[in-house]
Amino acid sequence: MFRWATPHYRVERVELLTAERLGQLGLRALLVDVDCTLKRYRSEEIPANVADWVAGLVQGGIGFCLASNGGGRRIRRLAEGLGVPCLAKALKPFPFRLRRAVRRMGFPPEQTAMVGDQLFADVMAGRLAGLRTILVTPIHPEEEPWFTRLKRPAERVLLRRMVIPNGAAKAGSITHYGVD
How do residues 125-134 score in pLDDT, each as one tens digit? 999 999 999 9
Instruction: State mean pLDDT over 102-107.
Output: 95
Query: Which tops the pLDDT comparison, 29 or 151?
Result: 29
Percent of residues, the chain, with pLDDT higher than 90: 66
pLDDT band at 1 (very low <50, low <70, confident <90, very high): very low
Instruction: State mean pLDDT over 125-147.
Output: 87
Do residues 15 and 53 touch, judged by C-beta distance below 8 A? yes
- Provide long-range contacts, Cβ within 8 A and 24+ apart, for 83-86: 83/55, 83/58, 84/54, 84/58
Sheet of 112-116: strand order equals: 86-87, 63-67, 29-32, 112-116, 132-136, 9-11, 174-176, 170-171
Residue type, 180: D
The answer to whether residue 94 scores a pLDDT higher than 70 is yes
Query: Which tops the pLDDT comparison, 132 or 176?
Result: 132
pLDDT band at 179 (very low <50, low <70, confident <90, very high): low
pLDDT band at 180 (very low <50, low <70, confident <90, very high): low
Domain that holds residue 36: 3-176
pLDDT band at 167 (very low <50, low <70, confident <90, very high): very low
- The CATH number of residue 86's host domain is 3.40.50.1000
Least confident of 32-46, 122-136, 137-151: 137-151
pTM, entire model? 0.87
Number of domains in the chain: 1
